[in-house]
Amino acid sequence: MSRTDQKKVNPEMLVEMIPFLRRYHKKVILIKYGGNAMVNDELKKQVIEDIVLMKYMGMYPVIIHGGGPEITSMLELIGKKSTFVEGLRVTDKETMIVSEMVLSGKIAKDLVARISSYGIKSIGLSGQDGGLIVAGQKNPELGYVGEIKTINSELINKLLSEDFIPVISSIGCDEDGNRYNINADEAAGKIAIELKAPVQIMLTNIEGVMKSQGDEMKVIPRMNVNEIDDYIEEGIITGGMIPKVKGCAESVKNGVERVYIIDGRKSHSLLSEIFSDLHEGTIIYQ
Amino acid sequence: MSRTDQKKVNPEMLVEMIPFLRRYHKKVILIKYGGNAMVNDELKKQVIEDIVLMKYMGMYPVIIHGGGPEITSMLELIGKKSTFVEGLRVTDKETMIVSEMVLSGKIAKDLVARISSYGIKSIGLSGQDGGLIVAGQKNPELGYVGEIKTINSELINKLLSEDFIPVISSIGCDEDGNRYNINADEAAGKIAIELKAPVQIMLTNIEGVMKSQGDEMKVIPRMNVNEIDDYIEEGIITGGMIPKVKGCAESVKNGVERVYIIDGRKSHSLLSEIFSDLHEGTIIYQ
Amino acid sequence: MSRTDQKKVNPEMLVEMIPFLRRYHKKVILIKYGGNAMVNDELKKQVIEDIVLMKYMGMYPVIIHGGGPEITSMLELIGKKSTFVEGLRVTDKETMIVSEMVLSGKIAKDLVARISSYGIKSIGLSGQDGGLIVAGQKNPELGYVGEIKTINSELINKLLSEDFIPVISSIGCDEDGNRYNINADEAAGKIAIELKAPVQIMLTNIEGVMKSQGDEMKVIPRMNVNEIDDYIEEGIITGGMIPKVKGCAESVKNGVERVYIIDGRKSHSLLSEIFSDLHEGTIIYQ
Amino acid sequence: MSRTDQKKVNPEMLVEMIPFLRRYHKKVILIKYGGNAMVNDELKKQVIEDIVLMKYMGMYPVIIHGGGPEITSMLELIGKKSTFVEGLRVTDKETMIVSEMVLSGKIAKDLVARISSYGIKSIGLSGQDGGLIVAGQKNPELGYVGEIKTINSELINKLLSEDFIPVISSIGCDEDGNRYNINADEAAGKIAIELKAPVQIMLTNIEGVMKSQGDEMKVIPRMNVNEIDDYIEEGIITGGMIPKVKGCAESVKNGVERVYIIDGRKSHSLLSEIFSDLHEGTIIYQ
Amino acid sequence: MSRTDQKKVNPEMLVEMIPFLRRYHKKVILIKYGGNAMVNDELKKQVIEDIVLMKYMGMYPVIIHGGGPEITSMLELIGKKSTFVEGLRVTDKETMIVSEMVLSGKIAKDLVARISSYGIKSIGLSGQDGGLIVAGQKNPELGYVGEIKTINSELINKLLSEDFIPVISSIGCDEDGNRYNINADEAAGKIAIELKAPVQIMLTNIEGVMKSQGDEMKVIPRMNVNEIDDYIEEGIITGGMIPKVKGCAESVKNGVERVYIIDGRKSHSLLSEIFSDLHEGTIIYQ
Amino acid sequence: MSRTDQKKVNPEMLVEMIPFLRRYHKKVILIKYGGNAMVNDELKKQVIEDIVLMKYMGMYPVIIHGGGPEITSMLELIGKKSTFVEGLRVTDKETMIVSEMVLSGKIAKDLVARISSYGIKSIGLSGQDGGLIVAGQKNPELGYVGEIKTINSELINKLLSEDFIPVISSIGCDEDGNRYNINADEAAGKIAIELKAPVQIMLTNIEGVMKSQGDEMKVIPRMNVNEIDDYIEEGIITGGMIPKVKGCAESVKNGVERVYIIDGRKSHSLLSEIFSDLHEGTIIYQ
């Protein structure tokens, strides 16, 4: 514990944090940690540090992670090609097994191990654990791609009350034990609603929801949930951003106070967002 | 729920089970489900049925599973060769990642999904989850092969009291978050001791501990823990069986009442062992 | 623990029981054990074995017992004659004392002792214990014959959560401490409703509700609660069976899912009914 | 609630009770209510009032009752003669059944009903209920006369914490479900010790332990537990009083602070003893 | 423990108390102990004895105290004069500090110490403790005179369940930490409602609510809450009694069953009121 | 919540705090806040901010406060002179009343109100509350100056588990309800030991324990508890510092891991001490 390069803390800065500590005291903070935001080891370390600090400072973070790029790498490694239908990967049995191995057996376990090394208890979970995510097939053509039927938050609430940080892989399970790939954005929203989390943070590889202003693209800092349809109609929100924003709106309509879409590629973006009113990404609110 | 081929139960047989139900009532039954005992899907289904029945009938089964053969297949699939030192696989970083994916991300999740499909809550765990298995490196030459330092049974006990069946992959984690392959027999014994389980069952691919009798090999039905050194000295127990039996003896010396070494390749061997005094494998007792 | 005549269990049969174990897991099973079904010691032993097995296998059995024939014997022994008004015994103070001694002091205590001898905690209760059955006089001409005013299930629920099997004598008590004989069928129904028991089993000395078919009488296997009035109107259900069936219907109308009327004179009829879809008696359902 | 003859309370007298209320606050008071002290209905009413007041005023009374005279009456009523060996009734199966009916089915239930009528929860218990009194045969010649092997106080403690007054019949039960008559003095002492009751009160039909002083007999007001052997040796304590006093001494030697032997034939003797230092019977103390 | 002048208790009188002990068993009794009722040390001792007895006898007393006369004395001692606006003391910062010192630092602490000396746990509380009384300024002209915004009874309920007698000073606190003098009658009523106390007792320096009858004034023994407006309109209730009675009516309209206005200058008036139907003051009821 | 001058937090600094957050996670931090350290309102505000931050960041601060200077002012205000014997104020009844009013009624309540305004629950306590500090007279000549007999930490532990910050005035109470002034350093040490607090912080008006080094005085940064006698013997620690340091040593000998003596006159000295290894005052350790 002897650290010669220790610098003194800045008490004034800590005092400025009091209103934020109070606002989030004992609140569930649902963090969706997208596969595309897992850029490099240093950034991953910072995300974990931010989440560990949130826990030490009295919040209840819950992580839902993605992992698309790593699944693709692993499939390539074993010489398996994917075909896509409308942007969704056709998932046969073997693809599903590889997906589950990568998400639950590699990414979630890695996040848990990193968190644990800071003295915070953590646990990796996926759909079948405690019946967490009950899912069904979305579309027979897509194979083991699922949609969520029910979220069973009992286990998570129990773990939160025991001071765990749950790390959830977005995999669902049906009553016969079949597993399905679930869109992690969708899982994040459904779980945030079920846990009555006031805050949902989408850690992505974009700066926020963007709109063109003159020649350049600028982040839309705040969007009322009721304006979203207008934004889409007017063509400001387009493409893959539409389902993401619609999902966030769904959370807000079901009790989540604010959804933050922030840039996980920036250093310590979580802490900056939580402990300041100078938000950099997009906030969707009621 | 309409099943036309339903046969009536045999009440007399159930009545004969009462003394066994009483003996194991609310007791922890630690089951080591070895990778070599996972012979085929039908047998795996029967093992799960047996464990589900044990839970429904008032016991607290805990599963520690292995998975050597599946790890080997996966390594082969990605074109990775293993070298061995004194029978132990040299485990570099990539081998460790593959091992963890197979054990935690495939085998454990599969067992959890199967159990869940019978209406029993289950959860997959490995060393980093709740600090369950704290381990350190065994031998620098072997890489990420670990030995257990401490077992933290708090999480398991909590889950048992919530009626979960924990499914544990034998992977340890050190304080910096590194993972290690742990011998599943060793993990089973250490966890049985920590949970104060009165019964530890080793589900293997042998009939029991064998000795030659005339021309043929016969199972040794019962071994007092104090006779084991004699058996080894006399050359009756040899080779790979020595560490296995010594591990079981360690459990018995530390409070486990009985360790059963039974043949997982036989149909419903768990149920037969638990609900009868006509044991088929080997019992090691105090 | 050495039993030389031990036979091996039949795992396939146990596996067939899983759906039933799941259906009744942690459910209250209200069993009315009628005095007329207490035919001989061997049958009584089997009933107790069945109930003990239900408890060991995860259900919460609750027993309400009768005892008319034994009360009659005891009254005869002390030379006391009973008069009847419309089938109900006129119950003076002395008759009431004898009834209570026989029900609470003999039959209930005997059932409790038998259950306890299998390692299951049990306790005998009657109306005054914990204010369980508050009753009032039914008809001044009948003396201490009572009707139920309220059931106070708090004590029973507490005992169930402590893994007791409650054995209840159908005796009510008013606020001044007077005791009344209560019809055990009525008590069974009221308690089943109050405990929100999904299953109520009437262990009687008949095969079920009967109807004539050609020359012979046959059991009506299933009766929807809405058909009962028709059966009565059409003269299929008659005499003393009318109030019994009406009482069962009352339970079903108030939340009990199914009432079984079965023949307690057959060996292990409880187990056969619970662990099979091949029912022998009559089921009344919603 | 309108009572015209209501007299005002005497506050000074209540204030004088404070030190006693403080001394016995939340303490278990074990009361042995002997069959010979159940003289008439008015006295029984007063004993119940005293016990109900003790409960309302913050103590935890527990009652062990006897009932010899009533058992004798009942046996006579059914024309059964008793033989005695050294003062103990030879108890065949039928005698045991009658004893249990009278003790558990009549006396205990009557006490419970009386207590309940004052708004206090009560419950009747005997040896088999919750395994309360495990007993074995004392002497084969005496039949079902038992001696206590173990007291299982768990159920009583649970009931006390739920504000019940337990009323216990001194009947023991062995592991096969056989019942035995137990001496109520012995049961009182053993249960007082097991419950760590600081006070044990023996409600008898004598004024206390007596000694001759000149021509008349006088109560010995206080006896140190160490003086008892001297009293016996000197012939001051004789006959049937010897085992009673020895039993009380046993309680004191095992943690009970004081045993009171008082005269249950006097009006409100319990209250007078508890709320005053002017004791009338005999106190045995450490 | 030796008290030679001990008199025997009067059991008949105690038996007469049973219906009252039953009526108030485990009930919250809210006692407003007005500053004007704190006449002398002997009377204060009696009030404490009464409250201690209520606690020992199974009720949950809660005390709200005043202290106007003592505040006036203290202000005079430091040479500070008060001005009044419509009967309310203008309270500047220094007056508020003195008020709080007297109420919380002297009177409450004295009551707590007295109660504790009888072996009952007690604790002094005011508005800021646990956010008990949130208040705001009533009228800027009056300075730190407050009105109640919310009562937070969580802390009191927790303390009651731990067998404390809370002693509450009627001081409110706003969200910035400013303290305000609160009318103790108003606080008593609001807290009684919040605690769902069935009984609220106003210990005052009057005999009750009075009306003239011929030449003399007589206590109105019982007032239905609906008659109060008539009494005021008819000029029977006048002056400072109007807000007091209206406040009591407010309690009754919000769930308090009965409010007693009694004379704290009489010896043991609390006990006399609680343990008798011969009330001396005024009862306001629904 | 809109603050235009909000500056962004410094994530790197927060990350540096992780080891300290981990070290003090859920630990009791006993803070003695001396009357002499209450220099001005701004410093008091900073102390409260530091304590509030400690609470929000997962520690359990407990405050023991002094108030000598304020007591002296108040006594002067009412024209009362103090005499001293060996540095201790002779405390007659009136002085005691004034002391209690100032400590419990002014200082403690002010600290509680300040803490509450940051959204943290707090409560003011002194010796009689829940029997917290049982004391007796130290020396008849000194009047109501007491010494601690026992600390009853049950109430504090209960409040800590409910997330309160207890603010304790160092006043003791004997069994008759008399109050005594207690030295706040002594109370801090005794309570730290009783609460098994690993850390005790003395917030004083000195820089730390000083020793002369050449011409100037320098803080002794660390003192092993075993060196203290040497320091005193060698004349390095002298005068009023001797009992203070001896008291701190007593804490360390009884389980407190470290006592910090720090300068409460410096801005945010608590935070600087807790979240850094660059200590400025003196640490006494085992």
In a domain, A63, yes or no: yes
Q: Which A positions 136-165 lie with beta carbon below 8 A of chain B?
A: 155, 158, 162, 164
- Mean pLDDT of all residues in F109-119: 97
Write out the DSSP string of F28-86.
Answer: EEEEEE-GGG---HHHHHHHHHHHHHHHHTT-EEEEEE--HHHHHHHHHHTT----EET
Confidence of residue D27 (pLDDT cuts 50, 70, 90): very high
pLDDT top residue among B236 and A121 = A121
Q: Is the pLDDT of residue C197 over 70?
A: yes
Judge whether B68 is annotated as a binding position.
yes
**φ, ψ (nearest 5 deg) of residue C9:** -75, 165
Q: Confirm if F61 and F26 have CB atoms less than 8 A apart.
A: no
B14 close to A (CB below 8 A): no
In a domain, D257, yes or no: yes
Three-point CA angle E203, E207, E212, nearest 5°: 145
Q: Which residues of C touch B116 (CB under 8 A)?
A: none
Amino acid F124: pLDDT: 98
- Mean pLDDT of all residues in A25-46: 94
Q: If you count them, how many residues does chain F have?
A: 286
Q: Is the pLDDT of residue F218 over 60?
A: yes
In a domain, A86, yes or no: yes
Amino acid F2: pLDDT: 42
Q: Is D247 exposed, middle or buried (0-12, 13-18, 19+ CB in 10 A)?
A: buried
The partner residues of B199 in beta bridges, in order of sequence, read B29, B258
Amino acid C1: pLDDT: 37
Taking chain E (286 residues) in runs of 10, the rounded mean pLDDT of each run is 60 94 97 91 96 98 96 94 86 96 97 98 97 96 96 97 98 97 96 98 93 87 94 89 93 97 93 88 94
A2 close to F (CB below 8 A): yes
The partner residues of E65 in beta bridges, in order of sequence, read E33, E169
Judge whether A35 is annotated as a binding position.
no
Least confident segment among A181-195, B43-57, B199-213:
B199-213
In a domain, E11, yes or no: no
* Alpha carbon distance A119, F23 (integer Å): 9
* Alpha carbon distance D73, B109 (integer Å): 71
* Alpha carbon distance C133, C135 (integer Å): 6
Give the tens place of pLDDT for each residue, A69-92. Answer: 999 999 999 999 888 888 788 999
* Alpha carbon distance E154, F128 (integer Å): 22
Parallel, antiparallel or unpaired: strands D282-285 and D258-263: antiparallel
Q: How far is CA C176 from the centre of its chain?
A: 27
* Alpha carbon distance D248, D259 (integer Å): 6
Q: Is the pLDDT of residue B7 over 70?
A: no
Amino acid C6: pLDDT: 57
User: Among the ranges C76-85, D169-178, F86-95, which has the highest mean pLDDT value?
Assistant: D169-178
* Alpha carbon distance A199, A30 (integer Å): 6
Q: Is the pLDDT of residue D276 over 90?
A: no
- Mean pLDDT of all residues in A48-55: 98
Amino acid at F280: E
In a domain, B228, yes or no: yes
Amino acid F214: pLDDT: 80
* Alpha carbon distance B167, B279 (integer Å): 25
Q: Which D positions 178-207 lie with beta carbon below 8 A of chain C?
A: 178-179
User: Which of these, E46, E38, E65, E40, lies nearest to E267 by C-alpha position?
Assistant: E46
- Would you call C131 and D109 a contact, using CB atoms and an 8 Å cutoff? no
Give the tens place of pLDDT for each residue, F53-104. Answer: 999 999 999 999 999 999 999 999 999 988 888 878 899 999 999 999 999 9
Q: Confirm if F62 and F28 have CB atoms less than 8 A apart.
A: yes
Amino acid F1: pLDDT: 37
- Mean pLDDT of all residues in C192-211: 95
Please state, as a whole number, how many other Cβ atoms lie within 10 Å of the Cβ of residue B134: 18
How close, in Å, is residue B225 to chain A by CA atoms? 37
How close, in Å, is residue E138 to chain D by CA atoms? 42
| Rounded percentage of chain C residues whose pLDDT exceeds 90 | 84
* Alpha carbon distance E10, E8 (integer Å): 7
Least confident segment among B75-84, B122-131, B252-261:
B75-84
Three-point CA angle E32, E36, E41, nearest 5°: 95
pLDDT top residue among C243 and B111 = B111
Give the tens place of pLDDT for each residue, C24-69. Answer: 999 999 999 998 889 899 999 999 999 999 999 999 999 999 999 9
Q: Which residues of E touch F112 (CB under 8 A)?
A: 128-129
In a domain, A11, yes or no: no
Residue A72: partners with Cβ closer than 8 Å, 6 or more residues away: A82
Using the structure block, give the residue that is written with the tokens 């029900």. C103
How close, in Å, is residue F56 to chain A by CA atoms? 6
> b/e for D38-61, b at 16 or more Cβ within 10 A?
beeeebbebbbbbbbbbbbbbbbb
Amino acid F208: pLDDT: 92
Amino acid B86: pLDDT: 80
- Would you call B267 and C57 a contact, using CB atoms and an 8 Å cutoff? no
Q: If you count them, how many residues does chain B have?
A: 286
The chains in contact with chain C, meaning 3 or more Cβ pairs closer than 8 Å, are B, D
| CATH label of the domain that carries residue D273 | 3.40.1160.10
Q: Is the pLDDT of residue D6 over 60?
A: no
- Would you call C155 and D123 a contact, using CB atoms and an 8 Å cutoff? yes
Give the tens place of pLDDT for each residue, D120-152. Answer: 999 999 999 999 999 999 999 999 999 999 999
- Mean pLDDT of all residues in D230-258: 93
- Whole-structure pTM value: 0.94
Amino acid A4: pLDDT: 47
How close, in Å, is residue B238 to chain A by CA atoms? 36
- Give chain D's mean pLDDT: 93
Amino acid B8: pLDDT: 74
Q: Which residues of F touch E101 (CB under 8 A)?
A: 101-102, 105-106
How close, in Å, is residue B283 to chain C by CA atoms? 15
Q: Which residues of F touch A272 (CB under 8 A)?
A: 8-9, 11
Structure tokens at C186: 């009525």
Amino acid F5: pLDDT: 54
SS3 letters across chain E: CCCCCCCCCCHHHHHHHHHHHHHCCCCEEEEEECHHHCCCHHHHHHHHHHHHHHHHCCCEEEEEECCHHHHHHHHHHCCCCCCEECCEECECHHHHHHHHHHHHHHHHHHHHHHHHCCCCCEEEECCCHHHCEEEEECCHHHECEEEEEEECCHHHHHHHHCCCEEEEECEEECCCCCEEECCHHHHHHHHHHHCCCCEEEEEECCCCCEEEECCEEEECCEEEHHHHHHHHHCCCCCCCHHHHHHHHHHHHHCCCCEEEEEECCCCCHHHHHHCCCCCCCEEEEC
- Would you call B57 and C58 a contact, using CB atoms and an 8 Å cutoff? yes
- Would you call C106 and D101 a contact, using CB atoms and an 8 Å cutoff? yes
Q: Which residues of B touch A97 (CB under 8 A)?
A: 106
Q: Which residues of F touch E130 (CB under 8 A)?
A: 121-123, 164
Using the structure block, give the residue that is written with the tokens 């008091």. F44
Inspect the structure and tell me whether chains F and C have 3 or more CB pairs less than 8 Å apart.
Answer: no
**φ, ψ (nearest 5 deg) of residue A130:** 65, 25
- Would you call B277 and C11 a contact, using CB atoms and an 8 Å cutoff? no
Number of domain units in chain B? 1
The partner residues of C200 in beta bridges, in order of sequence, read C30, C259
Amino acid A215: pLDDT: 84
- Would you call E56 and D58 a contact, using CB atoms and an 8 Å cutoff? yes
User: Which of these, D281, D262, D273, lies nearest to E9 by C-alpha position?
Assistant: D273
- The edge-to-edge listing of strands for the beta sheet with D133-137 is D146-151, D133-137, D171-173, D179-181
Residue D150: partners with Cβ closer than 8 Å, 6 or more residues away: D134
User: Which of these, F165, F92, F102, F178, lies nearest to F133 by C-alpha position?
Assistant: F178
Amino acid D213: pLDDT: 80
* Alpha carbon distance F71, F82 (integer Å): 11
User: Which of these, A196, A245, A201, lies nearest to A51 by C-alpha position?
Assistant: A201
Amino acid F278: pLDDT: 81
Please tell me whether residue A171 adopts helix, strand or coil conformation: strand
In a domain, F207, yes or no: yes
Q: Is the pLDDT of residue A3 over 70?
A: no
Give the tens place of pLDDT for each residue, E146-173. Answer: 999 999 999 999 999 999 999 999 999 9
Q: Domain of B260?
A: 28-285
In a domain, F48, yes or no: yes
Inspect the structure and tell me whether chains D and C have 3 or more CB pairs less than 8 Å apart.
Answer: yes
Taking each helix axis from N to C end, the angle separating A11-23 and F41-56, rounded to the nearest 10 degrees, works out to: 50
Amino acid E183: pLDDT: 94
User: Which of these, F104, F92, F98, F107, lies nearest to F77 by C-alpha position?
Assistant: F98
Taking CA atoms, A113 is separated from A155, A202, B133, B158, D191, in Å, by 20, 22, 12, 20, 53
Give the tens place of pLDDT for each residue, A114-147. Answer: 999 999 999 999 999 999 999 999 999 999 999 9
Amino acid C7: pLDDT: 65
Using the structure block, give the residue that is written with the tokens 């869940």. B116
C176 close to D (CB below 8 A): yes
